[in-house]
Amino acid sequence: MKEHPSLLDTLDQVRYDGVACLAAIIQKPGPGVHVRVRHAQVLEGVGLEGDHRKKDWWKGKRIPEREITAISREVLDVIGASFEVPGDNLILEGVDLRQLKEGSLIQIGSSVILKRARKLHRPCGLFAERISEEARQAVSELQLRGALFSVVRGGMITQGDSVHTMENQ
């Protein structure tokens, strides 16, 4: 009898072979409310226009450099979660967010530039509630939860925009 691979094993084999692009944009107009949009304005010092004002807070404290959150489409595909479920602003395709070091820059479309935060994006209890405890544990162990970003240069983003990693200068 053939054994089925565990979620951890399957996630460990994820490949980011596609063209790097913005697969989806998720606005967070209120706590726990995640709305998929086609376009969004990205604001320096804020994140996505239309997000609720406490979205960069955790346990009563503001988290610096958490203006934008992102996760990879490839990870969501493996864990079986739709784009809106985890609550990240950006769903990136073809980008292994683990490879972005602290201070790394990414450009989305022709104008928006984001800077990778010092703090890791870790899966919380809400992640387990929304998806599963098994997914939370596997994503945590492999550091596949995604990344936190601050906005270096704002502008308009559109689903399907190209994503480029840049050297921090």
Q: What does the pLDDT look like over 65-107, one tens digit per residue?
A: 789 999 999 999 999 998 998 889 999 999 999 999 999 999 9
pLDDT-derived band at 54 (thresholds 50, 70, 90) equals low
pLDDT tens by residue, 21-31: 999 999 999 88
For position 40, what pLDDT does the model report?
97
pLDDT, position 1: 42
d(CA 166, CA 163): 10
Indicate the residue type of 5. P
In which band, very low, low, confident or very high, does the pLDDT at 168 lie, cut at 50, 70 and 90? low
Taking the domains of the chain in order of start, what are their residue ranges?
A: 7-166
Q: What is the pLDDT of residues 133-167, one digit of tens each?
A: 898 898 888 888 899 999 999 999 999 999 999 86
Predicted TM-score (pTM) of this structure:
0.89
Q: Where residue 57 falls among pLDDT bands split at 50, 70, 90?
A: low
Say how many C-beta atoms besides its own lie within 10 A of residue 90's C-beta. Answer: 29
The hierarchical CATH code for the domain 7-166 is 2.40.33.20
